[in-house]
Structures are given as structure tokens and as C-alpha cells.
Amino acid sequence: MSKGLLCDEDLIRRLPLPLARLYRRAHNAKTPLDRHQAAYYLWEASLKLLGSVAIVAYAQRGLHQPELADSLQNLARPAVGHWWEFVRKLVPILADNAGDAGFCAIRDLVLGRARTDMPQAAALDIALREALGETAGSPGSVRLSALFDRMVCYRNREVGHGAAGQRPRDFYSRMGGALLTGVAELLGRMDLLAGRGLVYIEDVRRLASGRWLIERFALIGEVARRIESQEQPESDTPQLPRPERIYFDVPGPQAIGAERTSLVEVAAPSEYLPRPSLHPLVIYDPARSEILFLNAQRDRQRTEYLCYTTGEHVEHREWGDELRDLLARAVGGSVESTQVERWAAQSLAEEDQLAPQVPEPIGPQTRRIGEFELLSELGRGNMGKVYRSWQPSLGRQVALKILSRADDPKAKARFRREIQALGRVDHPNLVKIFTSGFDEEPCFFTMELVEGATLDAVCDRLQSRSTSAAVIDLDAWRESLSTACEESRRAEKALSDSGSSSRQVGLLVGVRQSRTPWHSPRLIKATADRGTDAAGRPGRARAPPSRSGASRYQARQRHGHGRRLAGCADGSGTGPSCR
């Protein structure tokens, strides 16, 4: 957790599932670039969730306005600017025409007057103005609609289209802190669900009595929570929710995340109004325990979704027709598959026009596993190999580990256990796993990449300076650690047929400048206090050695705990420093 940035645990308990995890991840980020990316995606995921709620509520209420049809067509392939357009145009309609109290509150906050009671959001607005080259506004005052406009512009310039990672470390440190505190303050004031809750319907089955039993999970906080099952009479059969869908819970005065007792309001048949589903705009994957957002309609059958906490793209072939049905209800007319494809192409063309020019790789074809571009080999062992890789969808570098012995059942079982163990934890001192492809060839998973060096390399540098541990002082430790880290980076084995883009090894300006300086007094003190290495792992390079000599550190290298969490290729603790 970053010094000076306090994590609001109460906010985490009240946020919807994906936002709670992104907020935690931003606080636990180990580099300024990681915090910057997580904090920005916290805002983007919040915008998409609010936009999805508004679209479904608009379509359900039948508030068709012909002048909105052109805007809603962008739902075929929505960019971030389109999601903001959905919110900006639909929220006032739902507030004014439908009289929805939840959307009235959102309208007054986001689209209303300038605010003087949101200092962190005002500070974020000033930082965005500076980053975008605009003139400074009034200190302490912010109009949230203008702030959202600037966030969209900032995304196109600094986050999307391969732009991430190209700025120096102090830029991401400053903007990451401003994004995290500003977005957190905004989420603390705004109910993105407009008074509703998020409920995942796991199963709907008929009981022996003829009544229906609905199994449900509340998607609030960091973990999906099973709530009391609901029974419905047989007469409600036509209005029953479908399983494996996310639904709105009943609007009411309860706090965000409060458990409600029913999925639909109890009303006379003529007044009965089933609560709509967010499907297929937002889906829940119970196997991963992750919420995914609509990203694009690829063709007539394939719909692509994005998970913000892992960066994983998932395609569903069976939901193309459901998106078309939602579009038809939103625009108030029939929609053909060919129209959806044409709208998606138009939206993509508009997005390409906004994209900044990014140098394309030249030379032989780049090595890839899935969407990940392999840049260099970090290390290998009996079980697998670890690569420095680039993930273009989220503009970040990751460590990608592949299983070499895919034909060995024991090795595959061990690899699966490693993925499952890493997936259950989220702590500043432990590696985070991003995504995995266990059923693919080759089997792989991706995790955080942390620049560093092995303890062996640090000890070698120390011993080259002096034969006596007694004369190794703090300055010697800092210089040895810094030198070992630089040598480790230079020793990486670049892949001979990788492209020579700005992401290639040795030219990764953003990543090289974004790491914590190895001579930082704060980092040295932290490693001494925690008993961890410079990258935050147990049993690795530590604080300055005592009079007992460097041999103690070599012993720790051979027998230290927590070595496999370092992400080495064979778990030996001697591979490169990666997360």
C-alpha cells in the first residue's frame, strides 16, 4: 500500500464486485505505472457499469426517443467515449421522464452544478488539465461532467492505443495518486446502480410442491456472497428470471450492498414489473468469480467481453442474438444482424480516427501466446519458462509462465495448483496472477512483472567489493543492489524474431523509468522492516548484512521461504525476479 494513500475499507464493502477488487488492486500496486493503470480502469469500469444500468433501464421502460437511435447504435462496439455519451444522454431522461430517484441523484451529481465539496475530484481535474495541456481551472471547484470529458481525452492520449508506459516514473506517480483518490471520492458519493443491487441468479428449479426456488448471489464487495434463496409461486412462471444472469435487485432506501428479501416487487398483476437483467452487457463468470463487461460484437455470433481485474478477453458465441435483441428494445425497432455488423464497423472506424499514431513493429513476425507478445526470456527450469511479455489490451508488461512438460499429468496438476493458489490471494507482498490459459496449448498464466535481481547476484556484487562482511555498509548495499538489478535486466535473452517496437527489451522507456530506484532509502527501509526483498518477496535480497557475513545470505538463497511465489521457472529461487 502506498504511503499517504489510505484504503477505505468501508467503500470496498459497499462497491460492486469488480470495482471493489480494482480499488484494492490499485492500493496494492507495486509500481506507479501499475497504480495508474488500476486506478484509471477503476473509473472506466465504473463508467461502463453505470452506462449498462442506464441502457437496460431505458430499454425496459420503453422511453424511446428517435434522436437517441444513432447514439445507441454504438452499443454494437462501444468505445469509452460512447459509454460516457450513453450516460450523459440517458440519465436525464430516466430522471426527468421516468422520475427515477436513483437517476435523479446521479443527474444532480454528475451533470449538475460545479462542486466545491469534492477536493480530491477537484485535484484530479487540475492534474488532468495539466496533463492535457489545458489552462488551470478554479482551485477547489470541479464540474464532474467536464471531469468525465477530460477522462475520456486522457484515456485516448495516455492509456489506450499502446500509449501506456511511455511516460517517466514521476508522471505515473503523480497521476496515479490523483486518479485513485479522485475516483474513490466520486464512488463514495455516487450510487452507480441508482438505488439497485446486483444479484447473480445461479439456478432456478421447481420444487416438489410446484413452487420455484431461486438460488442467488449478491455481487457486492470483493467476494460474491450467497444470499437467502427465494421461493416464487407457480403462477409467477412467466416472470421467472433466467439462471446464469445478473439482475437488478429491488430499488429501495437500503444502503449499497444491503441484503434484500425479494428479486421482484410484490404488486398486483397489472402493476407487476419484472426487474431487468444486465445481460448481455455485464456477465458473471462463477468459475473465475469475475464480472466481465461487453467489449465488442465481433460478428453475427461472437460477442467479446473484457475482465478488468485480469485483462482477459473472453468470447461467447451464443450471445450475439441477445445483444441484437437489447439493441432493438433500446432503439424501439427491429434490428438485423447485418445492421449490427455495420454499426460495429462504423464505431471501429471512429475509434481508429481518435487513436494516436503508435510506431508499428518492424522485422520478423512477433512471437505471441494468445494476445501476449513475448519480448524476452527471463528464465527457465525443469517445469517451465518465464517470459517478459506485453499485453496490448491493457497496455502493460507482465511475466508469462508456460508449462514445458505439458504431457506430464503430475506437472499439469502442480501447475494448476500453482495457478489456483496465486489466484486466491491479493497482498502487496505477494505476486498477483492476472489470467491463465490452462486448457490451451501451451498451458500458461500471467502475473505481475517486478524488476529486480536474485539474491545470488546481489551477494556476488557484495563479495566483489570486499571479502569481509563487517565493512559492508548501507552505501555498499545500495550500490550492489542497483548494479545487480541493472545487470539482470541487461542479461535478459531477447527473442530473436520479436518486433523492434518501443516495447522491446532495452527500449522499454516507460517500464525502465517506472520502477522503484534500487538505491531508494524508502525501499531499503521497507525491505529491512518486512524481511523481504527489494521487490517485496520473502526470502530474497534484504537489508544490509550484519557481522555474521554474506554467507548467511547465500544460505537464505538456498533455503529461503516463499521462493515459488517469486515466479521462477522451476521454483528454485534462482530464476529472474518476476511477479
- Closest by CA to 128, choosing from 109, 104, 144, 108, is 144
Share of the chain above pLDDT 70, in %: 72
What's domain 365-579's architecture? 2-Layer Sandwich (3.30)
Q: Which three cell numbers stand for residue 352?
A: 481508429
Choice among 21-30, 99-108, 208-217, 251-260 with the minimum mean pLDDT: 251-260
- CA–CA distances in Å: residue 196 to residues 15, 253, 390: 12, 9, 38
Say if residues 246 and 228 touch (Cβ distance below 8 Å).
Answer: no
The CA distance from 517 to 495, in Å, is 27
- CA–CA distances in Å: residue 521 to residues 137, 170, 525: 36, 17, 6
Question: pLDDT tens across 215-262, in order?
Answer: 999 999 999 999 989 888 988 888 888 999 999 875 443 333 344 333
- Sequence ranges of the chain with CATH classification 3.30.200.20: 365-579
The CA distance from 54 to 71, in Å, is 13
- CA–CA distances in Å: residue 541 to residues 128, 381, 460, 519: 38, 21, 12, 13
Q: Which three cell numbers stand for residue 27?
A: 492500493
Q: Residue 87 pLDDT > 90, yes or no?
A: yes
Q: Read off the pLDDT band of 447 (50, 70, 90).
A: confident
Where is 292: in which H helix or E strand?
strand 290-297
- Closest by CA to 394, choosing from 316, 448, 452, 349, is 448
The residue ranges of DSSP E strands in 471-565, in sequence order, are 493-494
Provide mean pLDDT across the span 277-285: 91
- What pLDDT, on the 0 to 100 scale, is given for residue 488? 79
Q: Read off the pLDDT band of 51 (50, 70, 90).
A: very high
Q: Which residues pair with 444 in a beta bridge?
A: 402, 437
Output the 3-class SS for 102-128.
HHHHHHHHHCCCCECCCHHHHHHHHHH
- What pLDDT, on the 0 to 100 scale, is given for residue 564? 31
Q: Read off the pLDDT band of 440 (50, 70, 90).
A: low
- What pLDDT, on the 0 to 100 scale, is given for residue 52? 94
- Closest by CA to 386, choosing from 396, 394, 397, 560, is 397
Q: Read off the pLDDT band of 467 (50, 70, 90).
A: low
Mean residue pLDDT across the chain:
75
- Closest by CA to 52, choosing from 246, 242, 304, 267, is 246
257: alpha, beta or left? (left if phi > 0; alpha if psi -120 to 50): left
Encode burial over 427-450: b for 16+ CB neighbours within 10 A, e otherwise: eebbbbbbbbbeeeeebbbbbbbb
User: Of the spans 191-205, 284-298, 309-323, which averages the highest pLDDT?
Assistant: 191-205
Range 288-295 contact pairs with CB under 8 angstroms and sequence separation of 24 or more: 289/223, 289/224, 290/18, 291/16, 291/17, 291/18, 291/219, 291/246, 293/18, 293/45, 293/48, 293/49, 293/52, 294/48, 294/52, 294/75, 294/78, 294/323
Which is higher by pLDDT, 72 or 356? 72
- What pLDDT, on the 0 to 100 scale, is given for residue 70? 81
Q: Which three cell numbers stand for residue 279?
A: 445481460
Provide mean pLDDT across the span 126-139: 88
Q: Residue 170 pLDDT > 60, yes or no?
A: yes
Place of cell 421522464: 97
Q: Read off the pLDDT band of 128 (50, 70, 90).
A: very high
Which is higher by pLDDT, 266 or 161? 161
User: pTM for the whole thing?
Assistant: 0.67
- Closest by CA to 57, choosing from 11, 93, 106, 109, is 93
340 Cβ neighbours under 8 A, 6+ residues apart: 76, 297, 300, 320, 323, 324, 327
User: Of the spans 30-44, 132-146, 252-266, 392-406, which averages the highest pLDDT?
Assistant: 30-44
Q: Which residues pair with 282 in a beta bridge?
A: 293
